[in-house]
Structure 1
Amino acid sequence: MIVHALQFCASSDPRLNFTRLKAFIEQLPEARPCLVCLPESWLCFAKYAEQALAVAEEHQYWRGQLGLLCKEQQIWLAAGTIPVLADKDHYFAASFLFDDKGRECAQYNKIHLFDVTVADNTGSYYESKHTQRGEQVVVAHTPFAKLGLSVCYDMRFGELYREQVRQGAQVLLVPSAFTVPTGRAHWHTLLRARAIESQVFVIAAGLYGRNDTDIAHDNGRETYGHSVIISPWGEVLAEHSGGEGWLSYSLDMNELIQCSERMPMQAHRQARKVNL
C-alpha cells in the first residue's frame, strides 16, 4: 500500500487551504491505489472559536468537496480533521475517511480534548470549551488495511489503541497539530510506543508552522511538524522534519505478520488470566 502524508501550514481561511491542498495533491505520483493522509485542522486552523464554528456550519459543503476531489484524483483520503457542527456553540473535530469513488467510509470524532497548559506563546489550550468530545472508537475496513482513526492528543492514551487493535486495526492514523514544546519532548516517543505495543504501522501527518520563518500560521500558533511513518517494530521509516511537503512510503503488510510471529504479544495478552 502506498501512503502519502502531507505536512502542511494551515491558515484560518478554509478556501485558501482547500485550494492549496488541491495543488499539493496534483504533485502526487500517478500510482494508484494510494492512501493520502492530512493533518489535524488543515481546513481551518482557527484563532477564534467563531472561525471554526463558521466552517462547522458548512461541513456538508466541505465534505462534498473532499468527496469530489477523491473521485477526480482516484485517491483514498484520511482527511485529517474538519469541524462538524454539534450545536450552536460546539463542533466535533471530525476525521473522515473517503474512498477513491468519493464516498465517506468512516467518521471519527476526537475523544480526548486538549485542555492543558503548555510553555509556548499560546500558554493554555481548552479545546472542550467549543469542541464536543467524541464517544466512539472507530476502525475502518478498507481493501488494503484496517485503519484505526485517532487525532493528535489521543496518542497519549494507549487504551484507545489497544481497543482498536482488539478490533483488528493494522494501521493507526494520527493526524496532528502538535505544539513545539510537547513535540520536542514526546512526539517520537509516543508514536513509536503506540507502534511497538500495538505491533502495527503508525502514520502521523502533522501541521508545521514557525513564527520566525516564512512558513507561519496566521493565528500566531507554532506547530511541530516532523510527520512520520513508523513500522510495527518501532522504526521510523520516513520523516518530514520541517517545512511543507509530502512524506511517502510503500507499506509492506507482511511486516505485521513477521513482527507478531517473532513476538506474539497479542496472543499473550489474550491468554492473560488477570487484568493488569
Structure 2
Amino acid sequence: MANTFSPNVVALQMCSSTNPLQNLIWLGEQLINLPAVRPLLVCLPESFLVFSKDSHASYLVGQKSTDYQQQLSALCRKFDIWLAAGTLPISKENGKYLAASLLFNSCGKVVAQYNKIHLFDVNVADKTQSYHESAATEAGNEVVVVDSPFGKIGLSVCYDLRFSGLYTSMQHLGAELILVPSAFTIVTGAAHWHVLLKARAIETQSYVIAAAQVGQHENGRETFGHSIIISPWGETLAELPTGTGFISHDLDLNRLNKIRRDMPILSQQRFREHLL
C-alpha cells in the first residue's frame, strides 16, 4: 500500500570546520530549534563531521568513526529524529577511507550505509584548482534504497549528482525521496547545482533533498550553499542560498504517486537492461 501521510523533512546547511567536536556541538544546538512534528528526517551535508585540510587528517578522524557514530546515535534518541548523516570518514586498513553516508533511525540505529561511488577527481577554476578525491577515498559500489516512515529513501553524495544512471537505478529500486548531501564548489555550484538537482527530481519523479556546505572554510575551501528541497515535478519547495541554518518542508507522497500515475515514465523506460 502506498504511503499516504506527509512527514516533515529538514535540510541543515553548515560551514563545517576542521574540528569534529566543534561541528557536533553546532549540530546539537541546531537540533534544539527544529520543528516539533514527528517523525522528522534531518539531513546533513557532505563532510558535516569534519572538513579537513588534508586526507591524512580525515583518515585519523575516520579511525574514531565508531565513537562519532555513537554520539550521533545519542542525538537521534535525545531529539527523537531520523538523521541522514551527510558523510563522515570511515577508515580502512588499506590506508584509505570511505566517504560514508549513514542513515540513523529515531532509536539511534544505523539502518543504511551508502559509500560514495563517484569520486571528485577534476580540475576547477577556483583557489584549490585540482581535486583528487580517489587518492585517499575508497569508492563504494552499491546502490542503496531503504524503507523509512518517510517513504523509500535513496542515498547519494555530491559528485554522484552528475551521473544520472545512479538515480535511475534508485528509481527502479523504488526510491521516493533522494538525498544529495554536498559540498559543491562556488564555480561548479553556480554553473550546475540547480539544473542537475531539478533534472534528477524530474527524471526520477522523486523528492530531492540536498543539504549543503556553505561559505569560507578553515581548510581554504569555499562552498556554494543553496541547500534545497525539490518536488517530483521539479519545483523548488524551500531553499537557503547563503548562511548556516535549516530549511524544511512537508513531503506529500500522495502528490508524488499522482505524478507517477499521470506520467508513468518508469514503466515506459526502454533501457532497463543497461542500468546498474
Q: Which whole-Å CA distance do the structure 1 matches of 2:35 and 2:174 have between them?
A: 30
Structure 1 unmatched runs, 5+: 210-215
Contact kept? 2:124, 2:187, Cα under 8 Å? yes
Q: In the alignment, which residue of structure 1 is the partner of 2:101?
A: 95
Partner residue in 2 for 1:236: 236
Q: Secondary structure at the match of 1:248?
A: strand
One-letter amino acid of the counterpart of residue 39, structure 1: P
**One-letter identity of the residue aligned with 1:108:** Y
8 Å contact 2:100–2:114 — kept in the other structure? yes
How much is the aligned-residue C-alpha RMSD, in angstroms? 1.4
Corresponding residue for residue 212 of structure 1: none
Alignment of 1:248-263 (within 5 A): 248-263=248-263
Provide the rounded CA distance (Å) in 1 between the counterparts of 2:84 and 2:130: 28
**What are the Cα deviations for residues 109-141 of structure 1, in whole angstroms up to 9, with x where unaligned?**
000000000000000000000000001110011
Q: Give deviations 1:197-247, integer Å, cap 9, x for gaps.
A: 0001000000001xxxxxx31011000000000000111111000000111
CA distance in 1 between partners of 2:245 and 2:139 (Å): 30
Answering whether residue 192 of structure 2 is matched by residue 155 of structure 1, we say no
How many Å separate the matches in 2 of 1:28 and 1:113?
32
State the TM-score, normalizing by the size of structure 2: 0.95
> Are 1:132 and 2:138 counterparts?
yes
**Cα distance, 1:144 vs. partner?**
2.4
Q: Which residue of 2 aligns with 1:222?
A: 222
Partner of residue 71 from structure 2, selected from 32, 46, 65: 65
Moved more, 222-231 or 83-92: 83-92
AA aligned to 2:86 is G
Structure 1: how far apart are the matches of 2:22 and 2:149? 32
Instruction: For residue 87 of structure 1, report the CA deviation from its aligned partner.
Output: 2.4
Distance 1:189 1:144 in 2: 25
Cα shift at 1:273? 9.4
Aligned counterparts of 2:109 and 2:173: Cα–Cα separation in 1: 23
Aligned to 1:213: none
1:197 is aligned, of 183, 188, 203, to: 203
| Cα deviation, residue 88, structure 1 | 4.7
Count of residues in correspondence between the two structures: 269
In 2: Cα distance, 1:79 partner to 1:140 partner: 15
Structure 1 range deviating more: 76-85 or 135-144: 135-144
Distance 1:61 1:274 in 2: 42
Amino acid at match of 1:169: A
Question: How far did 1:32 drift?
Answer: 1.1
Overall identity of the aligned pairs, in %: 51
CA distance in 1, matches of 2:97, 2:108: 23
Structure 2: which 5+ residue stretches go unaligned?
Answer: 1-6
Which whole-Å CA distance do the structure 2 matches of 1:38 and 1:138 have between them? Answer: 17
Aligned partner of 2:57 in structure 1 is 51
Amino acid at match of 1:137: V
CA distance in 1, matches of 2:191, 2:249: 25
CA distance in 2, matches of 1:274, 1:134: 22
Paired AA for residue 248 in structure 2 = S
SS in structure 2 at match of 1:233: coil
Structure 2 match to 1:172: 178
**CA drift at 1:89:** 2.0
> Matched residues in 2 for 1:73 and 1:190: separation?
33
Alpha-carbon distance between aligned partners in 2 of 1:275 and 1:11, rounded to the nearest angstrom: 41
| Large movers: runs of 4+ above 3 Å | 272-276
